[in-house]
């Protein structure tokens, strides 16, 4: 491959970075895709790992494997520590990499409203390790409940608090409901997992705020059927090892809840390399630290530097920033790749335009809500669409037909095969 | 369930403990099965996890799930810290548990010939965490080889040393050969994974010492076909981060080998609770710390205390200790359960007798060695037997039909879907 071809460096192998790389495959450019991980993570299914339904291997694909045939794409595993947009350089450890175009798509991380002490007590759900930590905490709680002789302690172990009722929080709470009421049923001798209390806490007025009021209410009904208690207009004041303090926004009253397991699905913010980039590129950022991008996804005066996906604040289309979902990142990845190719051919491209294909959130077996154009759906039809969409993407990525078999199996048996507590330190 | 029934406490949910529990299911005893983990691990396939072929969830089953219908069996997750054989007590943390019969089957751990500093440099293969550490080290090495610009460093990253050529070492080396030569082929741009050097080091004269000389030689041939270099009559003198020192037992010469990845499949010994038990029961132990048991698997003067599986040294049958394999543990578990039931009915049972069903080791796709009674087999027929035996056990345990589908998929595509580097500390 000619060294003289323009060099496109992509940082981040999530939906945005990967779609950009795929679009550039086989074209007249050299591409280097850098990620700290050696795999692409199918993040929308991470909640299934957290609740023992799927294994991490089921929802990840090695980046090298996906891009095997793209001979002009070089995958490097490692952490970019510094970017110099004026010199067009990125630093991978001590290695200096010169680029002609740079695409940064490193996403966001969880934000604990400035309470960093909450982090170890309430894991978020961004990485495989996060999901395994959640899985460990959840399954450990049932084991502890079975083991203890103290009734109050047992109640606390059987109380789960999910903070944030966006798609992730709703999916987690729903899956927890199925785990407790179906999967674990009959497996314990002292406790009845059906007595598990699952509390879903949301600051807004209703669950799934991005959906319509009607779909929100239908989602709330489905959650209630799975035994999930919903507390809207409620904030978390404190998280301790043995409980949380909740504050009602309506009455300003606080309530103590004894719990040993808090799952975080609330705020996100930009950290690490994204923060560094905003600084060195002197870019404007929003409250969450997301980088304000130009209409073509470039940043400030740097026409060859693009930011996309969750890391980008793109408000040129509607005045509102686009949501942090896979669809947006994928379309932006494709767009930027096309833009670069067009520039190399001396032509131009209209500004990025997001084609909103709809919004989906799954609650449980046969239950979801969907919003596609002007169509609204809930229950089984929405669930069917959810599963078809996910089948489509899983096959597109890595021909992960086996995951479907696993799913079908879980669906019929209500089993969750990956219910293991791992990551313990001892090696005996 | 009546509290007056005799209470059988089983420590360890491996093959020995689990088979004892299954044999006691539904009988007139109360059973408590205690394990640090909430799952049974199908250890013979752990090498597949270490090399990215299967996920941990594929080769584990929650103990509660396996024993769901055994209503007289209570599973407790936790660590037994102390045993008092005279008072017939075990301590689960602060919890005191009284037993009528105690079965201890906590296995062995890796032993680094007294060189504990080697442990972090050369992980063994006993737990899921061990396997994930191996997987991380192996995949990381290929990534580093691709990234470095230094040729000597690249050679070191592409050199893998497996210490010990028993079944585990042979299986690991074979799987590594397939990974490098088949799975990863074409996925890198700078390195050719086929240039990977895999060195299998063994102190004895030949690989797979428990097999006949003929089968050993056939296994060695198959390993050579996969590009594995075999160094027999060779000891490891030192393991450092950047290499190993090997010593030939024939010539007493040492050789330095630059490598970044050492996998340990050599000595084992008893540690932790097993060691404690030997002390408090004043039991005789062998060189590896295994507890010498009576002909009925009981220990010393304690007729109601049994030790089995890898933790036991049983030499009543042939004068030689029985090997530390799943078959022995299973049969001993069943035997002790039957013995207890017989005693409760006032009858007696003949001493334990191991029924050796044969010995199997798999080398790679279509390649294994098998030794069944007077039959010896290698190549495809042995591999077929290997796969049938494992299918049988996987289905017996947890109806893990899906693992077969995964296997068939891996077999035909030569893919290894679970090739992810996890367990990194950062959470960005």
Give which of A275, A334, A306, A289 is closest to A80, Cα–Cα.
A275
Give which of A12, A174, A19 is closest to A104, Cα–Cα.
A12
Kindly give the residue spans of alpha helices, DSSP state H, lying in B226-363.
Answer: 273-280, 326-344
pLDDT (0 to 100) of residue A414: 67
Residues forming a β-bridge with A313: A292
pLDDT (0 to 100) of residue A30: 97
Averaged pLDDT, B315-340: 95
Query: Is B171 part of the annotated catalytic residue set?
Result: yes
Nearest-CA distance B268 → chain A (Å): 11
Does the distance separating the beta carbons of A95 and B57 come in below 8 Å?
no
Q: What is the pLDDT of residues A256-273, one digit of tens each?
A: 999 999 999 998 899 999
Across B315-403, the runs of DSSP E, i.e. the strands, are 359-364, 367-372, 375-378
pLDDT (0 to 100) of residue A392: 82
pLDDT surpassing 90 at residue A418:
no
pLDDT (0 to 100) of residue B48: 92
With CA atoms as reference, the chain B residue closest to A65 would be: B187
Q: Is the dihedral of CA A302, A29, A89, B141 positive or negative?
A: positive
pLDDT surpassing 70 at residue B426:
no
Q: To the nearest whole percent, how much of chain A has pLDDT over 70? A: 96
pLDDT (0 to 100) of residue A267: 85
Give the HSE-up count for residue B342: Cα atoms under 13 Å, Cβ half-sphere. Answer: 12
- Contact status, residue A308 vs residue A329, Cβ threshold 8 Å: yes
With CA atoms as reference, the chain B residue closest to A143 would be: B77
**Cβ-based neighbours of A231, under 8 Å, separated by 6 or more:** A199, A200, A201, A202, A246, A248
Give which of A291, A47, A302 is closest to A169, Cα–Cα.
A47
pLDDT band at B399 (very low <50, low <70, confident <90, very high): low
Averaged pLDDT, B179-185: 92
Averaged pLDDT, A76-81: 95
With CA atoms as reference, the chain A residue closest to B31 would be: A189
pLDDT (0 to 100) of residue B91: 97
Give the lowest-confidence range in A325-329, B167-171, B203-207, B364-368: B364-368
Residues forming a β-bridge with A57: none
pLDDT band at A428 (very low <50, low <70, confident <90, very high): very low
- Contact status, residue A12 vs residue A35, Cβ threshold 8 Å: yes
Interface test with A, best of B49, B57, B123, B132 (most A CBs within 10 A): B57
**Contacts A71 to B, Cβ<8 Å:** 189
Can you state the angle between helices A401-413 and B401-413, rounded to 10 degrees? 170
**A267 interfaces chain B, CB cutoff of 8 Å:** no
pLDDT surpassing 70 at residue B1:
no
The number of helices, as runs of H, and strands, as runs of E, in chain B is: 11, 25
Residue in A133, A171, A178, A202 annotated catalytic: A171
Q: What is the pLDDT of residues A82-127, one digit of tens each?
A: 999 999 999 998 899 999 999 999 999 999 988 989 999 999 999 9
**B402 interfaces chain A, CB cutoff of 8 Å:** yes
- Contact status, residue B226 vs residue B364, Cβ threshold 8 Å: yes
Nearest-CA distance B351 → chain A (Å): 30
Averaged pLDDT, B326-354: 96
Q: What is the pLDDT of residues B234-260, one digit of tens each?
A: 999 999 999 999 999 999 999 999 999
Neighbours of A34 (CB within 10 A): 23
pLDDT (0 to 100) of residue A420: 79
pLDDT (0 to 100) of residue B387: 86
d(CA A419, CA A52): 5
Q: What is the pLDDT of residues A343-375, one digit of tens each?
A: 999 999 999 999 998 889 999 888 999 998 888
Q: What is the pLDDT of residues A126-145, one digit of tens each?
A: 999 999 999 999 999 999 99
Give the lowest-confidence range in B52-66, B356-370, B381-395: B381-395
**B114 interfaces chain A, CB cutoff of 8 Å:** no
pLDDT surpassing 90 at residue B174:
yes
pLDDT band at B398 (very low <50, low <70, confident <90, very high): low
Please give the ipTM for the structure prediction.
0.89
Q: Which residue reads 């699952």 in tokens?
A: A198
Whole-prediction pTM value? Answer: 0.92
Higher pLDDT: B88 or A365? It is: B88
Give which of A258, A316, A335 is closest to A23, Cα–Cα.
A335
Averaged pLDDT, A329-347: 97
Averaged pLDDT, B387-403: 76
3-state SS assignment for residue A279: helix
Residue B217 is inside which H or E element, if any? Answer: helix B213-225
pLDDT surpassing 60 at residue A427:
no
Averaged pLDDT, B175-201: 95
pLDDT (0 to 100) of residue A400: 67
Kindly give the residue spans of alpha helices, DSSP state H, lying in A119-212.
Answer: 128-147, 151-157, 167-178
The number of helices, as runs of H, and strands, as runs of E, in chain A is: 11, 25
- Contact status, residue B339 vs residue B308, Cβ threshold 8 Å: no
pLDDT (0 to 100) of residue A84: 97
pLDDT (0 to 100) of residue B403: 72
**B419 interfaces chain A, CB cutoff of 8 Å:** yes
pLDDT band at A426 (very low <50, low <70, confident <90, very high): very low
pLDDT surpassing 60 at residue A190:
yes
Backbone φ and ψ for A3, nearest 5 degrees, come out as -75, -15
DSSP letters for A382-401: HHHHHHHHHHHHHHHHH--H
CA distances from A171 to A58, A183, B142 (A): 18, 16, 36
Higher pLDDT: A421 or B286? It is: B286
d(CA A340, CA B411): 40
């Amino acid at each position: 491959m000619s060294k003289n071809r323009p060099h496109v460096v992509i940082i981040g192998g999530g939906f945005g970075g990967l779609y950009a790389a795929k679009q550039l495959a086989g074209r007249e450019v050299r591409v280097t895709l850098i990620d700290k991980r050696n795999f692409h993570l199918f993040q929308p299914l991470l909640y299934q790992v957290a609740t023992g339904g799927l294994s991490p291997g089921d929802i990840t694909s090695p980046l090298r494997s996906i891009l095997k045939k793209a001979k002009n794409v070089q995958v490097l595993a490692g952490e970019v520590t510094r970017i110099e947009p004026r010199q067009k350089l990125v630093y991978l450890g001590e290695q200096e990499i010169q680029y002609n175009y740079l695409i940064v798509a490193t996403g966001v991380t969880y934000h604990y409203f400035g309470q960093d002490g909450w982090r170890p007590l309430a894991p978020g759900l961004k990485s495989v390790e996060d999901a395994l930590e959640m899985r460990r905490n959840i399954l450990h709680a049932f084991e502890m409940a079975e083991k203890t002789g103290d009734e109050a302690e047992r109640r606390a172990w059987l109380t789960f608090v999910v903070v944030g009722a966006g798609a992730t929080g709703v999916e987690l709470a729903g899956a927890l409901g199925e785990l407790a009421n179906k999967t674990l049923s009959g497996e314990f001798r002292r406790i009845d997992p059906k007595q598990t209390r699952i509390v879903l806490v949301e600051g807004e007025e209703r669950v799934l705020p991005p959906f319509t009021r009607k779909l929100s209410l239908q989602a709330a009904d489905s959650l209630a059927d799975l035994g999930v208690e919903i507390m809207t207009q409620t904030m978390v004041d404190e998280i301790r090892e043995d409980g949380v303090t909740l504050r009602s926004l309506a009455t300003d009253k606080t309530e103590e809840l004894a719990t040993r397991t808090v799952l975080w699905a609330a705020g996100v913010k930009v950290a690490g390399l994204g923060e560094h980039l905003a600084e060195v590129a002197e870019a404007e950022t929003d409250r969450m630290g997301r980088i304000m991008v130009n209409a073509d996804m470039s940043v400030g005066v740097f026409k060859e530097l693009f930011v996309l996906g969750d890391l980008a604040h793109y408000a040129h289309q509607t005045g509102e920033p686009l949501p942090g979902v896979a669809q947006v990142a994928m379309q932006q990845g494709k767009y930027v790749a096309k833009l670069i190719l067009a520039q190399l051919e001396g032509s131009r491209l209209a500004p990025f335009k997001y084609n909103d294909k709809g919004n989906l959130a799954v609650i449980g077996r046969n239950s979801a809500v969907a919003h596609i154009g002007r169509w609204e759906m809930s229950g089984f039809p929405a669930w069917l669409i959810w599963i078809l969409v996910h089948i489509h993407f899983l096959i597109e990525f890595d021909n992960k037909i086996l995951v479907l078999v696993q799913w079908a199996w879980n669906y019929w048996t209500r089993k969750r095969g990956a219910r293991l507590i791992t990551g313990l330190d001892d090696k005996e």
